[in-house]
Structure 1
């Protein structure tokens, strides 16, 4: 029979518990580094206010000229070589010379400043035909003051194409009459081979260009069919195919 080990003393228990707590704290810190927040997400198919955090700060509103010009679309920062690229719907960039981006915009304030659009990357079929299957755009931005790049300020989403037809998507976007973003998560379906559909209420005018996030990566933007949908309860995104990925690569390298 094996001898039983002596029970640990009170001080040994304390030391062991302290080591366990320190290990758990270290693991939690590693898991939370620069990852979009899960937060207390609402149930599937329910639209609610988006809490502040890493993911929401990477999303912002597009304005005409400045904060006084009113916001009309949504965009999100994506990872790029020179850390200066945003993604939105192509139909949101008809007037890029006067468009500015406010990441993390909330309650009338731009906590990370304003960023002017300096370059636009859209598919030829959008320019020539406004093909809804190409209603995806990437744009380079520069600060209106200072020199810090936008990705250095808020981080950026990776880009992931070729998602399954029933992928679960989280949308974060700004209705034009609201000064804080909304968030909705739901399963999606293919409306057509080139268009993805989601059922989420209250995603009204102004949410065009909102990122469609799958596991924290951008897999589309609100747009495409009917420029995103005519009813706020149903929204669409063009499926990100080879053309969209090529546009992203071009923007990510050129900045």
Structure 2
């Protein structure tokens, strides 16, 4: 069974593990402390579409998200024509640490997506185990990379291409405004396992991952300062409103990442 995707218009997960709506804190005279600066909203046509996150790369120009957020699923070897909800995807941009009511604010700017990299297993066959994508992000007007803007290597998880299925992870996502009017990220720290219905997929049970959280990073071994963890996958969907699944990164994911990083 294909999972229910959690992008722009699909039901999402609620479960038994605590999820926090994360506040943005600021001391007098200081810039806000952003708890998850590498994670943000993937916008399509200027609207909240999915969640995406910066992943460590040599040029600092790579963002990870779900394939269904950026490319239609194929079927029987043929490319799809529209997104999972039947809508055109639109021009993509990334707003790390997005927050605020309505249109919200972009404390770390809005970054243009230069190119997208998606596996043929997704674009031709719609395989759930390939529901990941890597985006090349253009530098800003000052020549900075998106990774520099979010705090550099001290904040940015490195990718892990050989992870096992049982890991302690922190998952961070942006539900749509219907369930999250202030557009704050929600997070959950729990343990992954094989999905019962599709053992090739990762599974967690967590509350609060509503529509809009597709593409949320699954970060293993995240700790304190200088321990940004390892990115092992991104949120793909869930069979019910209490489940979340992710495709585990593999060697083909690595090949997509390398293409994005070279851009």
TM-score band w.r.t. shorter chain: 0.7 to 0.9
Q: Provide the residue aligned with 2:220 in structure 1.
A: 214
Q: Distance in 2 between matches of 1:153 and 1:56?
A: 13
Structure 2: any 5+ residue segments left out of the alignment? 1-15, 25-32, 72-87, 222-228
1:186 aligns with 2:187: no
Q: What's the Cα RMSD here? A: 1.9
1:164-223 per-residue CA deviation (whole Å, 9 max, x = no partner) reads 322111100000122110001111111134200000012111000000000121110001
Which structure: larger Rg? 1
Q: What is the TM-score normalised by the length of structure 1?
A: 0.75
Q: Provide the residue aligned with 1:127 in structure 2.
A: 123
CA positional deviation for 1:144? 6.1
1:128-162 per-residue CA deviation (whole Å, 9 max, x = no partner) reads 11111100100011256443210110133210132
The alignment partner of 1:212 has SS state of: strand
Correspondence for 1:89 among 62, 66, 73: 66
Correspondence for 2:245 among 224, 236, 242: 236
The alignment partner of 1:245 has SS state of: helix
The answer to whether the 8 Å contact 1:50/1:172 transfers is no
Residue-pair matches, total: 204
Q: What is the TM-score normalised by the length of structure 2?
A: 0.72
The alignment partner of 1:222 has SS state of: strand
The answer to whether the 8 Å contact 2:65/2:234 transfers is yes
Q: Provide the residue aligned with 1:63 in structure 2.
A: 43
The alignment partner of 1:175 has SS state of: coil
Q: Distance in 2 between matches of 1:122 and 1:99?
A: 15
Correspondence for 1:140 among 126, 136, 142: 136
